Amino acid sequence: MEAETDTRPFAIVTGASRGIGAEYARALAAGGYDLLLVSRDVDRMNRLALELTARHRVQISSEALDLAEPGAAHRLYVAARQRRPTVDLLINNAGFGLFGEFVEMPMARIQEMLRLHVNTVVESIRLFLPSMIEQRVGAIINVASIAGLFSVPYLAEYAATKAFLITLSEALAEEVRPAGVRIQVCCPGSTDTDFHTTAGFKPKNPLGTQSAAGVVSISLAALKHGPALVTIGWRGRVASWLSRYVPRAVLARAAAAKMKPTA
């Protein structure tokens, strides 16, 4: 049993309790990965673990962690090392949106977002990457958003943290390419999950929504040979074209008109 476990690849999925993270977990379990699921919701993760082990011969464990707390990346690293000596794939997916006027946002929620989207992701990459480089194998997927390609009024700090993830990931992908390690930044558009309810708004992307399973299948298919920045389907291609060829000020003005909260 132990020997079999050691031959299966091992992946960590943060934000695995639902939405896109749960779909990454489903796809990876189907592909023969042992998994460490991470979020704050133990019950949902346990239910997902039962579903996956009933269908596939893999080991699924979960860790309840608030990844917006200081020191969370280190706790994640320790939890992973307790299970396996090496990680083949780390998916930094946990995230949430904050919709509304910046000056109205509670400071605590802004700080939570910065720690979850920026601090914890940077620290996790710093902790997990060295052994991947040393063994010349492994991959990291950072889930950003097409919002990170634009300046988005009323989603300002969300879009800014995702822009940070895009720049960081593209740069690191080049640094580690010679070592055979892959870094992808996955940029979904509006996706059918609980995300918009948590953020407090209905999807306002004029390009429509896509499924979480569709996002995951494109992301994983692109991991080995695709580009560092992965957008999803025709909606992603349109968004990335707009971000390259339309002046940023024009896009920001148009986004403000679209996103402005109604009283």
Ligand X SMILES: NC(=O)c1ccc[n+]([C@@H]2O[C@H](COP(=O)([O-])OP(=O)(O)OC[C@H]3O[C@@H](n4cnc5c(N)ncnc54)[C@H](OP(=O)(O)O)[C@@H]3O)[C@@H](O)[C@H]2O)c1
Please report, as ranges, the residues that interact with ligand X according to CB under 6 A. 15-21, 39-41, 44, 65-68, 93-96, 116, 143, 145, 188, 190-191, 193-195, 198
Angstrom distance (rounded) from CA 51 to CA 190: 26
Q: Which of 154, 162, 204, 260 is catalytic?
A: 162
**CB–CB of 87/10 below 8 Å?**
yes
The residue (of 8 and 83) whose beta carbon lies closer to ligand X is 83
Q: How far is the CB of 229 from ligand X (least distance, A)?
A: 13
Q: Residue 220 region, left (φ>0) first, then alpha (ψ -120 to 50), else beta? A: alpha
Q: How many CB atoms lie within 10 A of CB 234?
A: 11
Active-site residue flag, 162: yes
Number of C-alpha atoms within 13 angstroms, CB side, residue 49? 18
Residues 6+ apart with CB under 8 A from 54: none
Active-site residue flag, 204: no
Q: How far is the CB of 128 from ligand X (least distance, A)?
A: 17
Q: Which of 24, 158, 245, 258 is catalytic?
A: 158
Angstrom distance (rounded) from CA 212 to CA 257: 27
The residue (of 59 and 145) whose beta carbon lies closer to ligand X is 145
The residue (of 48 and 132) whose beta carbon lies closer to ligand X is 48
Q: What order of strands is seen across the sheet that includes strand 89-92?
A: 60-64, 34-39, 10-14, 89-92, 139-143, 182-187, 229-231
Q: How far is the CB of 237 from ligand X (least distance, A)?
A: 16
The residue (of 110 and 137) whose beta carbon lies closer to ligand X is 110
Angstrom distance (rounded) from CA 49 to CA 83: 15
Q: How far is the CB of 2 from ligand X (least distance, A)?
A: 30
Angstrom distance (rounded) from CA 129 to CA 229: 18
Which residues are catalytic, by number?
Answer: 158, 162
